[in-house]
């Protein structure tokens, strides 16, 4: 069974694939996405499903030419624990390469 975020959340700006400087930012929207990503990247990203479902964070697979290079977590709270808003939309809290290694600078 695939548990996904609801339609409202899927329609948000964050849930759309984007490309910046040749890197695709692909939102991970459900358990199937997270399990597949964890297998490809040899990490525990699937354990973050509750954070995604309860809108505590957004998770992305960063890919270049179809090759996975990193996973990124954007936490949806400010540093003071307040919910993020359009003025403070969240912050990158993790950026990890395969097996949680550092992402090479060339990416």
Residue with tokens 């929207």: 29
Percentage of the chain exceeding pLDDT 70: 76
Chain segment 28-41, per-residue pLDDT in tens = 988 899 999 999 99
User: CA end-to-end span of the chain, whole Å?
Assistant: 34
What is the average per-residue pLDDT within 9-23? Answer: 80
Chain segment 42-75, per-residue pLDDT in tens = 999 999 988 888 878 899 999 999 999 999 999 8
Q: How many helices (H) and strands (E) does the chain have?
A: 3, 5
């Amino acid at each position: 069974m695939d548990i996904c975020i609801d339609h409202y959340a899927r329609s948000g700006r964050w849930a759309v694939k984007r490309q910046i400087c040749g890197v695709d930012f692909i939102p991970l929207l459900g358990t199937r996405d997270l399990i597949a990503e964890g297998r490809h990247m040899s990490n525990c990203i699937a354990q973050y499903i509750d954070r995604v479902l309860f809108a505590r964070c957004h998770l992305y697979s960063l890919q270049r030419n179809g090759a996975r290079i990193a996973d990124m977590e954007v936490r949806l709270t400010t540093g003071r624990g307040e919910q993020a808003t359009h003025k403070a939309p969240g912050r990158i809290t993790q950026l990890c390469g395969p097996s949680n290694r550092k992402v090479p600078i060339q990416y």
